[in-house]
Amino acid sequence: MSRRYNYTVSYSSSFRKRRNRARWRLVLVSFGLLLALIVGAVMLLGSWPQSLGKASFAAFPDGSVLNKNNPSSNQAESLANLPPISPVALTSQKWNWPINVYSPEAFKRVWQYNDSPVQARQVARSWAYGSTPFASFLEQYKDTPQGLRLVQYWDKTRLEITDPSTPSDAPDYVTPGLLVKELMSGQMQIGEKSYMSLGPAMLPLVSDLQNSSNSTLTYAMLAQVASLKNNNRVEAQLESTVTATLDKNGSTLKDPNLAHYQIKNSYYSPELGHNVPNVFWDFLNSNGTAFVDGKYQVARLYDWQAVAGLPLTEAYWTRALVNGKSQDVLIQAFERRVLLYTPANDPGFQVEWGNVGQHYFRWRYPDVDFASLKSSLASTSSPNLPSGVNAASSGTKLTDTLEIRLVVGNASLARTLTIQNGRVTHSGLVNRQTRQAYANADGMGVNGGFLLKLDGSSGVTETITGDQFTITGFSMLTTSENESQLVLNGSVLFRGQTLNAKFYWKAIFGRNYIEKWVAIEPQPTLAGWRIRFATIEDLPLNEGLRAAPLTPEQDKLPLLIPTQRNLNVPGGAIFTHVMVQDNQSEGFYFFSATPLGGEYALDKRVVIFQEEYQDLKDGFNSGKAILGSYTGVVDLGFKRYTEYLQNYYSQMSGKRQPVWYHSWYPFTNEINQDVLLSQLEIMKTMGIYDVLHIDAGWEGSYPLEIDSKKFPQGFNPLIDKAATGNPKIGLGIWINPFSDSYGQYVNYAGMHRDHPEWHVPGLQRRDPKNNYETGPFAINSDYYFYVREKLLTLVKTYNIKAIYWDGADWNIPDASAPGLTEAQRNIARVQGLKRLMDLMNEIHKIAPDIIVVSWNSTADVHLLGSVEQLQLSDVWALPLGESELFREQQFYASTYHLPYYSIWGDWYAISYKENKDENLKQPVDLLKYAETRMVGVGGIVAGASLDLTKTPAELLNHLKKLYTWRKNFEQYFTVYQHVLEIPERNKLQVTGEAHIVKGAGFILLDNPTTTSLPVILPLSLPELELDPSKLYSLYDWSNLETATLLGKARPGEGFPITVPPRSVYIIGINLPSFAAATTSGQ
């Protein structure tokens, strides 16, 4: 119930406000595009404790707000005269980058043995390593004292010095990496038993950097037949002719035409169970010219297990481009290397090592321009020394300029960081599916990718940026095999005091996003300095990226920009969450995952921020900056973004949407125990309800206290009745304790009279009938503690299942006090929202399954980090027919920016008492159609909210069938996909919505006209993500009880449907029965 805030926006160009309906206005709904000026409590992250404590606030006539428990610090006064910001010097105590002694000459010795004769033209054979290394630096490796190891990349492999304490002349001082195993498994090794899941490499095995588009076997394809976990073993097949091929699905075939090459298996490796062909076995055991003890001589060329590792697969033939010609190539993967046999090559070059070093580098660092990299390094004079390493006869000491490269990511997205001499010199963001680099930034981004704005005493302000921090250390935290965190430690001198920070990046395998957040260590000596604004991510973008339209149909769905602007947001900001590449087939989304947050795009730049009011003495833990990738058209970008919100951010994640009975619609505030017990009686017999929601009118003269005249025994009789038998029904309550928006329906006379000091200063109004003032109550006053105690008691006592929080309390009435400066308004808003967020955390601890709905004058998607659902509007005056159309328009538009399952529909059903609707006298078929029309867009909340004692039996029976059907298939009604055209008024059209999960679900086709209309079932729309190669069974579920097979179709084939007039045609996809709901899937 939100009668005082009865606004909305129309998303159809033809839908206009009726002139003769002056009773209602339109509500601006920003659908998640609102730059978050409404702020909230930050989830405490990181390793430092943070104590908020119980504070007492007072508001003064000038609009200022004082926290009585935290007066301005005298220490802050003395610090104000010190130099604002200066760097922290690197010392041996703080600098945890390596200072060990390596011997890079060992790299050269390894290379010289095989490839010095090749370079000197002493022999005509292919390279074992390559002509020169193309990259040398330090990589992350957990199980070393510094968490790093020295590596050198060659065309054919990567050489590693993991333990510099090993004698440099020992055989295992330099080792080749298990690169092929990592490329095929998708597990990048970052320690002895630690891995980062990046997904198998989709790179072809036969290619170099300049020829990587060969249509041939990839590492990912070959992984399907590899013994990565001692699986896929085969029996010994010695002397058998090798004619096996492999298709893209991992199926092995035999091609007898390949027998003429006379390649036979000649060795069986029992460890993993694979045969090795003669051409490869002879190569691995061959003798040839080598560089030994400073001279060329014939020797065994390879210790094959040390160089190549064990065979992971059988050998398979494929066709590949070699020197521009399609040729037969035999391929076999080993743990460290790949062997290739090309019969058409000259002798000496028929068997070659694959370019595994190149492939692995591209897979691990996909943001690097490899062709340019190799070209720039081709002229280096020596293959042995990495950048920043100085040669010495006794060894080589690493200098501070040695480059460190770190990666954190998953199969969809990766962040790369390069560190040198205590500074992040480069960071990248790349779509791992397409290998498209979205950012190649100097440092961590604009202003070092991080910024704090602080207020000190006497109006002094300062700004600290990420690039002012000295990086003093790092760590790789692996909490599971599918989750990894990278943490950089940083320090800066602020006002003469050391301020320590941790920069976090986290990636989870199987998800398409990466999280970043920042924690500032508590610094008691900087008490009085308060963080007011924080940029968590500020990323410059590469060419070719731009902000996506606010919706794919932006010309017909004009979403308005926010009505309020943050002073920290520059002009020209675009309030969006989705970026699109010029190729229109990929991009990324971004989001500030905190109720305090906001985000925007500028030209070639995205910024993710949050507002704050946090003293440095208590430290600071930011919300998470989310960057997520997508591939496909921009519609899928919006889908991936809302999937993130629904699955990983919204409090609704993992919860079930109950069917509500809502007392407001049939009774408004004229409720009591007997009225609700009579409804409960019928609710129990219908068997479809989960929640009896008690709307406004249940309170007495004090907020959140039950009216003893209406409910003399409290809610106990309702609880007892609801819990008797089956189904069990929970209670829901309406609350609006702060904003005093509904004086005509609720009477808080006692509170207004007894505690005028709790009103928001300047917003009081004299009650003409009584000798006291009314007005909104301040959240930042001690009244908050009254509300907290009462609400927590209600939730505990009555096992409350749902709360509808009305009246725009979450807009924080304190911030509307007259006379406040913009800064004071922001402070009041932040403090108030933090209190509400703390309260919600307590409620969720008591009742983890509770659903809390927030109504605000603007729908801020960031609030979903605290509440389960947002109500978008409260339009109550539209007649039957137009009311349903409006909700269809609303859901069609809002679901591009809000997760469908977190939208609380507010259809005023068929009979709204205050509107004096006579709709129950309408033909029952029309009423049944209206209810069915709303089943996917809000009806589950309000569709059955009638006076059940006066509702025709035929309509009640229809409601029972409708919601029984919906609840059986609830798993599909957690999602919404856009199909057909935007619903418009006075247009002859069929509109629709889809609810499809993994290849099964429903398409609902609505024909509001009086004429039968044909339509082609839109199975090929991108949002549905149906496989065009598969045949889908289509069923008619319109009778809500049984399914009738209509036929089968593939996406794109076109399946005609005729929708009868004033009806909803329910098409089930791969759902022949109720039982199929638990077994279906693509």
Tell me the pLDDT tens digit for each residue of 736-790: 999 998 988 998 999 999 999 999 999 999 877 888 899 999 999 999 999 999 9
Structure tokens at 77: 């006064």
What integer pLDDT is reported at residue 624 of this predicted model?
98
- Do residue 428 and residue 515 come from a single domain? yes
Pairing of strands 730-735, 691-694: parallel
Beta carbons within 8 Å of 140's beta carbon, 6+ residues apart: 147, 148, 190, 406, 407, 474, 476, 486
**Percentage with pLDDT > 90 across the chain:** 71
- pLDDT score of 217: 87
pLDDT score for 928: 97
Return d(Cα 1017, Cα 519) in angstroms, integer.
51
pLDDT by residue (tens digit) across 571-598?
A: 777 888 999 999 999 999 999 999 999 9
Residues 297 and 345 in one domain: yes
pLDDT band at 966 (very low <50, low <70, confident <90, very high): very high
pLDDT digits (tens, 9 = 90+) for 61-88: 223 332 333 333 344 444 445 567 776 6
Is 629 a residue whose pLDDT tops 70?
yes
Instruction: State whether 713 and 740 are in the same domain.
Output: yes
CA 222 to the chain's CA centroid: 31
Confidence of residue 453 (pLDDT cuts 50, 70, 90): very high
Question: Binning pLDDT at 50, 70 and 90, where does residue 376 land?
Answer: low
Domain identity same for 694 and 604: no
189 in any annotated domain:
yes
Could you tell me the pLDDT band of residue 401, with boundaries at 50, 70 and 90? low
* Strand arrangement of the beta sheet that strand 903-904 belongs to: 660-662, 691-694, 730-735, 802-805, 851-855, 869-871, 903-904
pLDDT at 320 over 90: no
250: in domain? yes
Domain identity same for 942 and 983: no
| Residue with the larger pLDDT of the pair 27 and 118 | 118
Q: Are residues 284 and 143 in the same domain?
A: yes
The pTM for the full model equals 0.89
Q: Among 923, 950, 968, which residue terminates a domain?
A: 968
Mean pLDDT of 390-406: 52
CA distance 776 to 545: 46
Task: Please check whether residue 21 is in contact with residue 597, taking contact to mean a CB–CB distance below 8 angstroms.
Answer: no
The SS3 call for residue 787 is helix
Mean pLDDT along residues 309-324: 92
Average pLDDT over every residue of 478-497: 90
**pLDDT given for residue 215 in this prediction:** 57
Confidence of residue 39 (pLDDT cuts 50, 70, 90): very low
* Segments forming the whole domain that contains residue 151: 101-364
Q: Is residue 161 part of a domain?
A: yes
Lowest-confidence pick of 4-13, 122-131, 736-745: 4-13
- The helix (run of H) or strand (run of E) holding residue 598 is strand 597-602
> Are residue 985 and residue 960 in the same domain, yes or no?
no
309 plus 421 within the same structural domain: no
Identify the band that residue 1080 occupies on the pLDDT scale cut at 50, 70 and 90: low
pLDDT-based confidence at 396, cuts 50/70/90? Answer: very low
Q: Which pLDDT belongs to residue 210? A: 53
**What is the b/e burial string over 625-648, where b = at least 16 CB atoms within 10 angstroms of the residue's CB?**
bbbbbbbbbbbbbbbbbbbbbbeb
- Residue 82 located in a structural domain: no
**CATH number, residue 1038:** 2.60.40.1180
What mean pLDDT is predicted for residues 488-508?
A: 95
Q: How confident is the model at residue 133 (pLDDT cuts 50, 70, 90)?
A: very high
Domain assignment present for residue 298? The answer is yes
Tell whether 699 and 763 lie within a shared domain.
yes
Phi and psi dihedrals of 962, rounded to 5?
-60, -50
Are 404 and 97 spatial neighbours (Cβ–Cβ below 8 Å)? yes
* 639 in a structural domain: no
Give the span between the Cα atoms of 91 and 148, in whole angstroms: 19
- Among 106-110, 285-289, 371-375, 697-701, name the one with the lowest average pLDDT: 371-375
361, pLDDT greater than 60? yes
Residue at which a domain ends, from 920, 945, 968: 968
> Over 50: is that where the pLDDT of 50 sits?
no
Q: Are residues 228 and 358 in the same domain?
A: yes
Contact present, 252 and 313 (Cβ < 8 Å): no
Q: What angle do CA 653, 658, 660 make, to 5 degrees?
A: 140
Establish if 391 belongs to a structural domain: no
Mean pLDDT of 457-476: 90
Tell me what pLDDT residue 771 has. Answer: 84
Q: Is residue 142 located within the same domain as residue 267?
A: yes
CB 265 within 8 A of CB 277: yes
State the total domains in the chain.
Answer: 4
What's the N-to-C CA distance of the chain in angstroms?
41
Say whether 911 sits in a helix, a strand or coil: coil
428: domain CATH number?
A: 2.70.98.10
Between CA 937 and CA 894 the distance in angstroms is: 11
Is the model's pLDDT at 1055 over the cut of 90? yes
Task: Compute the average pLDDT of residues 358-383.
Answer: 73
Q: Which of 316, 337, 364 is the last residue of a domain?
A: 364
- For the chain, the C-alpha Rg in angstroms (whole number) is 34
Same domain, 462 and 495: yes
- What is the arithmetic mean of pLDDT over 523-537? 96
pLDDT for residue 635 is more than 90: yes
Give the contacts of 848 (CB within 8 A, at least 6 positions apart).
none
Give me the percent of the chain exceeding a pLDDT of 70: 85
- CATH of residue 19: 3.20.20.70
Judged against a pLDDT cut of 60, whether residue 365 lies above it is answered with yes
What average pLDDT does range 1002-1027 have in this prediction?
97
> What gap in Å lies between CA 518 and CA 41, rounded to an integer?
15
Check residue 101 and give its pLDDT. Answer: 60
Residue 481 — very low, low, confident or very high, per pLDDT cuts 50/70/90?
A: confident
394 inside domain = no
